[in-house]
Amino acid sequence: MKAARMHEYGQPLVLEDIPVPDIKPDEILVQVKACGMCRSDVQLIDGYFRKYADIPTPITLGHEITGVIHQIGDIVPAAAGFKEGQHVVVAPGWGDGICRHCQIGNTHICPNVRWPGFGPVGGFAEFLPVPARYLIKVDERLPFETLAPLTDAGLTPYRGLKKLRDAGALGPDRLVGVFGVGGLGSYAVQYARILGAGARVVALARNPEKLAIAKEYGADYVINIKGKSSADIAAELNAATGRKDLDAAIDCAGAPEMIQLAMSLLSISGHYVDVGLVGDRIDIPLFPRVSREQTLHGSFWGNNTDLTEVMALAAENKIRHTVKTFAFDELNDYINRLRVGEIVGRAVMKFDL
């Protein structure tokens, strides 16, 4: 089968032919139809994660995965309802099944977690063995190129918005800011409308094209922050909404300057959730966080329940997409485009292009 593998950090992926993997009795072999490209693919190649987990090479990249069932392991229970040819998405975060996080369904934060796309198997390959419990059947009317990004770009901000909702940060007369309107942020704007219970949505970004998408996808207000100070942006926010601060913020960039901006605009008892990983450090004043009783939430990817809910929204046509498809042999070109910020929305590799 074709596979795109990283043999050396900092080097282009090698597009090569490798054997189709065998499956264990509790696994299902998925024929990959589409796989989204994520900034973390670039970060993996560039060594961002090495200080946290130095993954042995070769690594098959790609973690936003959808496809069809090709083969079913011998002990996968018939009651699970899997059949060859069914359309599925791959849930990330394959836990050990026994830790306290797995026991409550949060397999993605298992201390012994495995991630497709961050090891021997990934979605930039024609076939992928997946433990049966991490496959979710999906509506076959939905295009593969829109399903793939929902497993990360569409899943990650959904969990983050749920955390804001469950913390009581959303509701009528509240303002929620979406910082960064890239692959994740365009979905975050939509979820802020769906989960916000009447909260008004403000999108903040530097790219006019991305801000136009945010407005189209339901943002009540958009603010171009390029070249502006925090005070300038607060004044613009006040002119648009009658408020200088935000009750809630979801940061889909995670760049140091974006974190500082979001925190500077956060209200008393405000809630900030970060789902972006552009930067690697947080440098913010401490006293306002304490004296204003603000809350910072970490939110990482999502679990099976979160992804099932996202798929239900997709099946009801409640999610819109900005997607650019490309062929397998264009992978390295699109990695470079993503690295320099040329891609609007999500780039998705399809094997049948």
Model confidence pLDDT, tens digit, residues 109-129:
999 999 999 999 999 999 999
Residue with tokens 């979001």: 262
The widest CA-to-CA distance across the chain, in whole angstroms, is 63
Task: Please tell me whether residues 15 and 116 are part of one structural domain.
Answer: yes
**Is 90 exceeded by the pLDDT of residue 281?**
no
Phi-psi region of 340 (alpha: psi -120 to 50; beta: other; left: phi over 0): alpha
Q: 272, 298, 324: which is the final residue of a domain?
A: 298
Question: What is the number of alpha carbons within 13 Å of residue 293 lying toward its C-beta?
Answer: 3
In the chain, DSSP assigns E strands to 2-6, 14-17, 27-37, 59-60, 64-72, 87-90, 127-131, 135-137, 175-179, 200-205, 221-224, 246-251, 266-274, 295-298, 323-327, 346-350
**β-bridge partners, 69:** 30
**Is 90 exceeded by the pLDDT of residue 136?**
yes
**Is 90 exceeded by the pLDDT of residue 279?**
no
What pLDDT does 53 receive?
87
Query: Alpha carbon of 194 to those of 15, 46, 131, 158, 238: distances in Å?
Result: 40, 36, 31, 10, 24
What pLDDT does 170 receive?
98
Task: Please tell me whether residues 144 and 6 are part of one structural domain.
Answer: yes
Task: Please tell me whether residues 222 and 319 are part of one structural domain.
Answer: no
Query: Alpha carbon of 199 to those of 113, 167, 249, 306, 309: distances in Å?
Result: 35, 14, 12, 21, 21
Q: What's the CA dihedral at 29, 30, 35, 38 to 10 degrees?
A: -40
In whole angstroms, what is the distance from residue 17 CA to residue 4 CA?
A: 9
Question: For 32-53, what is each residue's pLDDT tens digit?
Answer: 999 999 999 999 999 999 999 8
Task: Please tell me whether residues 215 and 86 are part of one structural domain.
Answer: no
What pLDDT does 94 receive?
97
Task: Please tell me whether residues 103 and 233 are part of one structural domain.
Answer: no
Q: 280, 298, 316: which is the final residue of a domain?
A: 298
Q: 267, 283, 298: which is the final residue of a domain?
A: 298
What pLDDT does 8 receive?
96
Residue span of the structural domain in which 206 resides: 156-298
Task: Please tell me whether residues 148 and 18 are part of one structural domain.
Answer: yes
Task: Please tell me whether residues 60 and 187 are part of one structural domain.
Answer: no
**β-bridge partners, 35:** 65, 349
What pLDDT does 280 receive?
84
**Is 90 exceeded by the pLDDT of residue 102?**
yes
* pLDDT classification of 341: cutoffs 50, 70, 90: confident
Task: Please tell me whether residues 286 and 310 are part of one structural domain.
Answer: no
Q: What is the mean pLDDT of the chain?
A: 96
Q: What's the CA dihedral at 288, 302, 207, 329 to 10 degrees?
A: 150
Lowest mean pLDDT among 243-247, 263-267, 275-279: 275-279
Task: Please tell me whether residues 339 and 282 are part of one structural domain.
Answer: no
Question: For 1-30, what is each residue's pLDDT tens digit?
Answer: 999 999 999 999 999 999 999 999 999 999
Residue 94: which CATH number? Answer: 3.90.180.10
Residue 231: which CATH number? Answer: 3.40.50.720
Task: Please tell me whether residues 94 and 161 are part of one structural domain.
Answer: no
What pLDDT does 259 receive?
95
Task: Please tell me whether residues 199 and 265 are part of one structural domain.
Answer: yes
Instruction: Report the number of distinct structural domains present in the chain.
Output: 2
Task: Please tell me whether residues 192 and 102 are part of one structural domain.
Answer: no
What pLDDT does 277 receive?
87
Q: Read off the tokens for 40.
A: 């973390």
